[in-house]
Structure 1
Amino acid sequence: MWLGRNSTGVSGLASVVDGTPGVAQVETATVGSWSTAAGDLIITVTSDGVTADPVNVTLDGTESANMIVNKIAETVTVTGYNITASNGKVILTKQVPAENDTTLNFAINGSTNHTGVPDAPISANTTTGVAQTAEVVTLAISSGATNAGNVIVTVNDTPTTVAVAAGDTQEQVAAKIGDLLTVAGYNVTVSNRDVVFTSTTTGNLPDLRVTLD
């Protein structure tokens, strides 16, 4: 946080909310045993109330659980997810961290075609997804202008001179600053008395340094 004051009477306080990289959601379905007869497993993926067309995975009746999950991973695709196989489990990993999809389900049906593979109708949400966030720096104008003059807003060592008039309100000062500032990698917007810098990329970035003098 930084506080700036000058002969215009304008002052401002900047604060930073760091961005976060997010967490990729992981969904896991488990194959419980070997196949005992040739036939098709039926795989059904649902999400947000939408059921995709079932996918058949052909078995010859001699596969171990590890072989079955490998066949599933090679056959099934789910948009936005990588599918891998390990230790009798089919693992869906979100390609880009996002808010957790609580409706996602990866169902395995082995009984309809008598494969001997037990049904696994409900998959497990083994890692909860968390959306990525952008860094947000807010310069709050805490007092308006009592005198005409210039204020200097410095962003990462680059100063910008902003002329203010006597009687400018906090909101008017913020608007004048927002009109003049362009910061690479950030969108600059104004909300009432706040000048808001929002990073165009997500994750924990080096803090944008903003001072007002």
Structure 2
Amino acid sequence: MSAKPLRIAVIIGSVREGRFGPVVANWFADRVREHSDIELDVIDLKDAGLPMVLPGFGAQPAGETAAAAETMRERLGAAHAFVVVTPEYNHSYPASVKNVIDWHNREWHAKPVGFVSYGGMSGGQRAVEHLRPVFSEVHSVTVRDTVSFHNVWSQFDGEGNPTDPEGCNSAAKLMIDRLLWWAEALQEARAKSPYTM
């Protein structure tokens, strides 16, 4: 492990009113906090301030849009790994997740991405499978192991705790372990040979 702690950015993908994402994200963030050698940054896309319309190709954003994009760029750039907490909307992922990916590019390069998904019967897994090729396009590495909550509304109690903590905690530990392996390996690789397009 490097002397400097690895930083994981946990991205809350849903921005809808009444969303369940923060419950799932808070639970997962607590699993990350169990690792004293990890720095955590929770990024809630509802508060990100990124507009849903990108500037024209080659154009630079201005005003509040530029400030929001720069803040997000700094946070993503500082991360060594990402975890996207995503629901499944219409067999895929929310537009807000695609938006934050599209607003940035180099910040994703040669870094690992893990997924915590939730939803109905499928547990958000179709959203994850749709996100894998998108992250591949921005030169990220997605980890195989994921955490998913099927019929999520029955998986947490009123205090935001999982009703079956053993299963989901084990899945989270495995995914975090894999994510850290990739984060450290890719950090060393980038230091040895900077990743360029």
TM, length-normalised to structure 1: 0.20
More helix by share: 2
Bigger relative contact order, structure 1 or 2, given CA contacts below 8 A and separation 6+? 1
Q: Which has the larger radius of gyration?
A: 1
TM-score normalized with structure 2 length? 0.21
Higher share in strand: 1
